[in-house]
Structures are given as structure tokens and as C-alpha cells.
Amino acid sequence: MSVSRISGTLSAEETARTEFLRKFPEYERTSRIDALRASDYGRLDALGQIYLDYTGGSLYGESQVRQHLDLLTRHVFGNPHSASPASIATTDLVEEARAHVLRYFNAPPTEYAAIFTANATGALKHVAESYPFSDRSQYLLTVDNHNSVNGIRELARARGASVEYAPVTVPDLRIDRARLGELLGKADRAQHNLFAFPAQSNFSGVKHPLELVEDAHASGWDVLLDAAAFVSTNRLDLTALRPEFVCVSFYKMFGYPTGVGCLLVRTSALPSLVRPWFAGGTVNFASVRGTLHVLAPREAGFEDGTLNYLGIPAVTIGLRHLESIGQDTIPTRVGCLTAWLLEKLLALRHTNGRHMVRIYGPADMTERGGTIALNLYDPDGHLLDYRRVEELAGLEGISLRTGCFCNPGAGETAEGLTDEDMQAGVEEGPAITLSRFREIVRQRGGKSAGAIRVSLGLVSNFSDVYRFITFTESLRDQTRLTMGDVTFDVDACRVLRDGA
Ligand SMILES: Cc1ncc(COP(=O)(O)O)c(C=O)c1O
């Protein structure tokens, strides 16, 4: 496939853009993002890159990096654990960032504590370790969840809690409200029970109903809301919702810095948490001869060791960056582009009339965000290898994501994998990997263990989605044989190249 074949002619793109704007006139209200893209993200177009992995990580604006560099080069910052000028300068910026995070999520400090972590996973691990699960507690979670939420089940079980999954329905991959209602009704209100769900699926883009927080509270549950995928294109108002725990990773919101996340905890839930250990930075007092330790109150009791104190001030810069764009601008733009993309993908057909694309999850914009999971099929309905699709997209400068996106439950439901399919994987024992499992389910009826994910975000534009559609069209009438063989594999989210 040549670049010119993929790019098409400018006039074809212009015609499509005119049709798009006629259909989505509200897109014009988001034009400040075009200006921002030109001034702050010029590298995308200068390098001809089409970035479609905002759910994996958002992109930073060059001004964010410049402001951060300016801050670092004009001051002297030291480890925050002392009273020196270099230390106080750092503490002030860390506390400024914390206060800004709380304000951004409309979470007054009397109601919420903001604990800095390395990422959303670090935030979830705090909940896993410190939530007071007992042998009469329950941990209830939706099948659609990131593995970092699934993993909490291991520590819940180790403390004797029962673990239950609430199913999602096909084909829309939304929570089965009736079944969830039954499961929520099973809580022993005298115990500590935790219900976890994502505000937006990192697999299908479904926005799960936020009123579930209130439903769960009414039935005697604490709530862990995984907001990591939701907050990259939506604002979350914690005063309106009041879940006990919320996790985010800041790079998913504004690209930079990596290595900083946050656990927001309701102050009313803090006293029930039991930290399994203490560390440097978390204690008001610790003695070796006396075996005594007294944890610091609020955030400090959870921030193990030295914080990422040079990175955290860049969180303030990133939040200001998002605020300067305006609250509704990003979701409006992402909504228009996603609606167009869904419509075009569903219309793609091979010459023999068969559909080229299967979309997992909602095919329209009802309660969904800008993440689309899909697979491509050849004219005989055989699955095309998503890794080869990723590779061919990469040759055209398109960055998308393939695999299971650390969300096995949504993928298993979407593809209708049966207990027997899963058992076939289990029989492989410890040697099982996603690659091996993909091969097993392919042989068991041409199913897919994994998908292609395109996700839109902060500075997506019409050209990005147009070029993805043009790329997908270029696979019309292609088969596994004509597409060629994939030259890489992925295990445990690490890319393995042929010969590496
Ligand atoms: C919904 C969701 N939760 C949690 C995570 C984990 O985030 P991190 O890898 O930054 O810890 C991700 C990452 O993709 C996610 O999409």
C-alpha cells in the first residue's frame, strides 16, 4: 500500500469534511482545539502522525513541557522531607498540585483526600491492601474492568472475602442492571463491602451509569470508581457522586508527566483503611527498640517514600492546560468524530457485499465515549490478524492499540468466549499467554482473543479519523494471505519483534 493510496486526494478529504460538518455543525464550536493543535502539537502534522491511542495515553502540549522546564531551571528543588529552602519550595508545589487536583474534581478537602501515587494502578493497590476486607465481606466488580481492578480480588480473597462479578450484556457491553441489583442486594450491611466499576470502559468506550454509586451506597456498599479512562475526555464532579475511592493516571488526562497518579479517598472512609506496613515518609513516629509506629494522618500516611516531587508540579500545569480548553469542548469534539467514525466503519463492505468491520459495544453515541473496539474480517468472514493490521497501520503513521487492553472480561464477553474456550486456555497451565490463547480460540471456531482499539481525545481532528477510514478501506478484499505475516508479537504487554 502506497502512502498516496492511503492519503487519497485532498479533495476527497475536503468533500468528506464538508459532509461531516453539515452533519455535526457543533464541531465548529470546538475550533479552539484546531488552534491549539497547530500551536502546541505541531509535531503531529509535521511528522504525518495519526494518533489514535488516547485511552492508552493522552498527548502533551509543547507549552506544558516548556513551562515545566522553565520552573525546573529557575528554582532549586530538594527532597520535600525537610525544612530547608529547597525542600520547602518543593513542598509548596506538591501541596499546590494536590489542592488543584481536589478543585478540578470538585472535591473539597473536608470531603476528600488526594493521595499521589505512581499511576492509577498504584492507587488501586492502596485500596487492595488497605480496604478492611474480612471473611464476611464481599468484593463485587463488573466483568468490564481493567486488570488492576480485577487484581484486587486476590487480596480480597486472601482475607476471606467473597468475590463476585456483575455481568455485562451483549452486544452493547453495558452492565446488566437487573443482575447487578440482585448482587448489590446480597450485602451484609454490618460488614465492609466494596463495589468497583469503571466510569468509562477502556475496552468498548461504554460510559457506565454514574448513578450506580448511589445505588450501591443505598445497598450498603463502599464504591471504588475507576475513572482512569473517563477523565481523559470528561470532567468528573465528586461532590455530585461521592464514591469512597477514585483512581486516575495524569498522563491519560494531559500526556505529561508520566509516573504520577492519584487516589481520591473520601475522608469519611480514611479511618477504616488499614495500611499493611509503614515506610519512609508515612509515619509521624517510628521506633526500632519500641516496635512502635504511628502513621501520619490523611495523604501522608499513604505516600510511601519520596514522591515524584519534580513531576508533580507538572500536574498543576497539565490541569491548567485542560481548564484553558473549556469543559465541554473536548467531549463535544470527540463525540462528533466518534459518531462519524462509527457510521463509516459500519458501512464498510467488501466487493461481495460482506461487512469488513465488527464493532464491539455500542454502535451509536448513546452513553459512550471516544474509544472503539473492533475487528476486521476478510470477504469470507474470516478474522484478520489484528497484529498485522496494527503493523500495516503503523506503516501509514497510524498509532492504534491491539490486544485485550488489560480488560479480559469485556473482551471475553464481546467475543462470546465460552467456559469451554476458557477451559482450553486453563489446560495450558502456566505456559498460557495471550498469544497462545489467541491461537487456541482461533482454532476453536475462528473467534478472537483481542481486538483493535482506536481512541480519540484531546487534539483529535477530522483528518485523523478520515485517514483511519481510508486506511481501513485499503483492506477491502484482503485476506490473511494477501495481507502478509505479522512480524511481532506481544506478551505481558511487551512487544516482541521477530529476531529480537
Ligand atoms: C480504565 C483503566 N483503569 C486503570 C488503568 C491503569 O492505569 P495505569 O496503567 O496508568 O496504572 C487503565 C490503563 O489503561 C485504564 O484504562
Residue 143: its pLDDT value, please? 97
Residue 258: its pLDDT value, please? 98
C-alpha–C-alpha distance, residues 32 and 36, integer Å: 6
Residue 499: its pLDDT value, please? 44
Residue 457: its pLDDT value, please? 98
C-alpha–C-alpha distance, residues 484 and 80, integer Å: 55
Residue 448: its pLDDT value, please? 79
C-alpha–C-alpha distance, residues 197 and 227, integer Å: 9
Lowest mean pLDDT among 10-14, 66-70, 174-178, 354-358: 10-14
The DSSP secondary-structure symbol of 378 reads -
Report in angstroms the alpha-carbon separations of 252 from 117, 223, 255, 260, 380: 14, 22, 6, 10, 38
Mean pLDDT value of segment 475-494: 83
Residue 8: its pLDDT value, please? 55
Please choose, from the candidates 399, 371, 344, the residue with its C-alpha nearest in 3D space to the C-alpha of residue 204. 371
Residue 293: its pLDDT value, please? 93
Mean pLDDT value of segment 316-342: 96
Residue 420: its pLDDT value, please? 87
C-alpha–C-alpha distance, residues 404 and 279, integer Å: 35
Distance 390 CA to ligand 1 centre (A): 21
Share of the chain above pLDDT 90, in %: 85
Beta strands 162-166; 138-142: pairing state: parallel
Q: Kindly tell me if the per-residue pLDDT of 327 is higher than 90.
A: no
Distance 118 CA to ligand 1 centre (A): 12
Distance 407 CA to ligand 1 centre (A): 10
Cβ of 58 below 6 Å from ligand 1:
no
Residue predicted with more confidence, 436 or 47: 47
Residue predicted with more confidence, 432 or 386: 386
Q: Kindly tell me if the per-residue pLDDT of 395 is higher than 70.
A: yes
Distance 1 CA to ligand 1 centre (A): 34
To which residue does cell 448489590 refer? 184
Q: Kindly tell me if the per-residue pLDDT of 61 is higher than 90.
A: yes
Residue 18: its pLDDT value, please? 97
DSSP-based three-state secondary structure for 445 = coil
Residue 428: its pLDDT value, please? 86
Cβ of 207 below 6 Å from ligand 1:
no
Measured from the Cα of 227, ligand 1's closest atom is: 1
- For residue range 118-160, what is the model confidence (pLDDT) as tens digits? 999 999 999 999 999 999 999 999 999 999 999 999 999 999 9
Q: Kindly tell me if the per-residue pLDDT of 14 is higher than 50.
A: yes
C-alpha–C-alpha distance, residues 87 and 124, integer Å: 29
Mean pLDDT value of segment 329-348: 98
- Asked whether the bond before 198 is cis by omega within 30 degrees of 0, the reply is no
Distance 184 CA to ligand 1 centre (A): 25
Question: pLDDT tier at 442 (50, 70, 90 boundaries)?
Answer: confident
Nearest CA to ligand 1 atom 14: 56
Is 493 one of the catalytic residues?
A: no
Burial per residue of 53-88, b for 16 or more beta-carbon CB atoms within 10 angstroms, e otherwise:
bbbbbbbbbebbbebbeebeeeeebeebeeeeeebe
Please choose, from the candidates 61, 105, 329, the residue with its C-alpha nearest in 3D space to the C-alpha of residue 231. 105
Mean pLDDT of the chain: 94
Burial class (CB in 10 A: 0-12, 13-18, 19+), 461: buried
Q: Read off the amino acid at residue 250.
A: F
Residue 1: its pLDDT value, please? 45
Lowest mean pLDDT among 110-124, 166-180, 213-227, 400-414: 400-414
Please choose, from the candidates 84, 102, 79, 59, the residue with its C-alpha nearest in 3D space to the C-alpha of residue 310. 79
Residue 440: its pLDDT value, please? 86
Cβ of 204 below 6 Å from ligand 1:
no
Cβ of 407 below 6 Å from ligand 1:
no
Question: pLDDT tier at 268 (50, 70, 90 boundaries)?
Answer: very high
Distance 74 CA to ligand 1 centre (A): 34
Distance 229 CA to ligand 1 centre (A): 7
C-alpha–C-alpha distance, residues 369 and 362, integer Å: 10
Within its chain, how far is the Cα of 235 from the centroid? 14
Q: Which entry of 336, 404, 406, 493 is annotated as an active-site residue?
A: 406
Q: Which of 202, 206, 407 to mutate to test the pocket of ligand 1 (most atoms within 8 A of CB)?
A: 202
Mean pLDDT value of segment 85-97: 97
Cβ of 339 below 6 Å from ligand 1:
no
C-alpha–C-alpha distance, residues 464 and 474, integer Å: 16
Task: Give the per-residue SS3 of 35-72.
Answer: HHHHHHCHHHHHCCCEECECCCCCCCCHHHHHHHHHHH
Measured from the Cα of 252, ligand 1's closest atom is: 10
Report in angstroms the alpha-carbon separations of 18 from 14, 25, 186, 223, 347: 6, 10, 54, 45, 19
Cβ of 198 below 6 Å from ligand 1:
yes
Residue 91: its pLDDT value, please? 97
Mean pLDDT value of segment 236-263: 98
Is residue 204 within 8 A of residue 361, CB to CB? The reply is yes
Nearest CA to ligand 1 atom 12: 228
CB neighbour list of residue 388: distance below 8 Å, 6 or more residues apart: 480, 483, 484, 485, 486
C-alpha–C-alpha distance, residues 206 and 199, integer Å: 8
Q: Kindly tell me if the per-residue pLDDT of 25 is higher than 50.
A: yes
Cβ of 228 below 6 Å from ligand 1:
yes
Within its chain, how far is the Cα of 284 from the centroid? 35
Burial per residue of 117-155, b for 16 or more beta-carbon CB atoms within 10 angstroms, e otherwise:
bbbbbbbbbbbbebbebeeebbbbbbbbbbebbbbbbeb
C-alpha–C-alpha distance, residues 75 and 91, integer Å: 13
Q: How far apart are the first and last CA of the chain?
A: 26
- For residue range 183-233, what is the model confidence (pLDDT) as tens digits? 999 999 999 999 999 999 999 999 999 999 999 999 999 999 999 999 999
Mean pLDDT value of segment 447-453: 88
C-alpha–C-alpha distance, residues 205 and 54, integer Å: 12
- Asked whether the bond before 362 is cis by omega within 30 degrees of 0, the reply is no
DSSP-based three-state secondary structure for 118 = coil
DSSP-based three-state secondary structure for 200 = strand
Residue 7: its pLDDT value, please? 54
Cβ of 371 below 6 Å from ligand 1:
no
Please choose, from the candidates 146, 200, 196, the residue with its C-alpha nearest in 3D space to the C-alpha of residue 368. 200
Mean pLDDT value of segment 105-113: 98
Q: Which of 55, 121, 144, 236 to mutate to test the pocket of ligand 1 (most atoms within 8 A of CB)?
A: 121
Grid coordinates given for 332: 463535544
